[in-house]
Amino acid sequence: MIIRIATLNLEQDHKRWQARRELIARQFADLNPDMWALNETHISTQTARWLQKAAANATATKYVLVQQSKAGEESAVQGEALLSRYPMVETANLDYRSHNCVALVARFEIGGKLLDVYVTHLIAAKVEDVARQYQVSTLLEWIRTRGDADCSIVCGDFNAAPDQPSIRLMSSVFRAIQDQPTAFTPLCEPGGAPTHPEWPRFDRCIDYIWISESIGLRASGLCFNHPAKEDPGLWPSDHVGVWADVEIG
C-alpha cells in the first residue's frame, strides 16, 4: 500500500500566522497527504487543531490528531504533532531530558503491517552537534525498544545538515528520502527582516523524512515551498516541507 507523508516546521504562530495558515491550507489541498508531521505547533493558540480542521475541509476527509508538548518551561508554548487519515493503534512519547526536546510516536496497521511514525524536533543549530548526537542516539535506542513494529518512519526538523555527525548517526539506521535545502525561507513581516537573519536563504537541508529498510520509496520532493503570489515575503513557514510517497507491505 502506498501512503503519502509530509513534514513541516510551523514556526509556532510567529510572522503573520493568520495569513500563513491560509497559505498552508491551500498548499496542503494540492499536496493531499495521508499523514502530516508538524514541528513547532503553538500550544496556546491551538495551531495544530486549526490545521486539522483546515485539512478536513480541504480534502473532505477526517484527520485524527496527536500532539506532544515540549518539556520544561516550553511545555506551555510549543510541541510536535501528527495528523493522519489512518486510525492510530497506540501512541507514546519520549522526553530526551535534553534541552526540553521530545519525540512522539503513533502506531498504525497498514497493509497488514505495523507501522510506527515518529515526529521529533532536535535542539537548534546554535548548540553544538554533540547535543543532537545524544538526542539521535536516545531516539534510536527508543525505536529499538519498539522493535515489534514491521517498519518505521521518522519525521522532523533535525537542525543539522547531512554532513553533520548526528545525521550520519541517523543514516546508519534509516534512509533519508532527500537532501535538498529546506532552511530558511524569506518569511518576514512587511518591511521587516526574515526569520533567522544570520543564516543564508535555502543553504542547507535540516528537515527530514527517514524510512526503515523495508519501506519502498516511490517519489519525494519539497512542499510548502511557494510564497503568496501577491507577497514574496509571505511563505507558509520559515522552513519548507518534505513529502514522500512510500510503499508499506
Superfamily of domain 2-247: Endonuclease/exonuclease/phosphatase (3.60.10.10)
Q: Where are the domains of the chain?
A: 2-247
Per-residue pLDDT reduced to its tens digit, 93-143? 999 999 999 999 999 999 999 999 999 999 999 999 999 999 999 999 999
At 53, give phi and psi (nearest 5°): -65, -40
Cβ–Cβ < 8 Å for 41, 57? no
- CA-closest candidate to residue 97, choices 124, 67, 71: 71
Q: Helix, strand or coil for residue 90? A: strand
**DSSP secondary structure string for all residues of 18-72:** HHHHHHHHHHHHHH--SEEEEEEEETTTTHHHHHHHHHHHHHTS--EEEEEEPSG
Please tell me the distance from the alpha carbon of residue 159 to that of residue 167, in angstroms, as a whole number: 9
Rg of the chain over Cα atoms, rounded to whole angstroms, equals 17
Strand partners, 42: 78
Q: Helix, strand or coil for residue 88? A: coil
What is the reported pTM? Answer: 0.98
Please tell me the predicted confidence (pLDDT) of residue 101: 98
Please tell me the predicted confidence (pLDDT) of residue 183: 98
The runs of H, that is alpha helices, within the chain are 17-31, 47-59, 129-145, 165-171
Please tell me the predicted confidence (pLDDT) of residue 8: 99
With cell 501528527, the residue in question is 82
Please tell me the predicted confidence (pLDDT) of residue 226: 98
How would you write the pLDDT of the chain (249 residues) with one tens digit per residue? Answer: 999 999 999 999 999 999 999 999 999 999 999 999 999 999 999 999 999 999 999 999 999 999 999 999 999 999 999 999 999 999 999 999 999 999 999 999 999 999 999 999 999 999 999 999 999 999 999 999 999 999 999 999 999 999 999 999 999 999 999 999 999 999 999 989 998 999 999 999 999 999 999 999 999 999 999 999 999 999 999 999 999 999 998
Per-residue buried b or exposed e for 19-47, using 16+ beta carbons within 10 Å of the residue's own CB: ebbebbbebbeebebbbbbbbbbbbeeeb
Please tell me the predicted confidence (pLDDT) of residue 249: 85
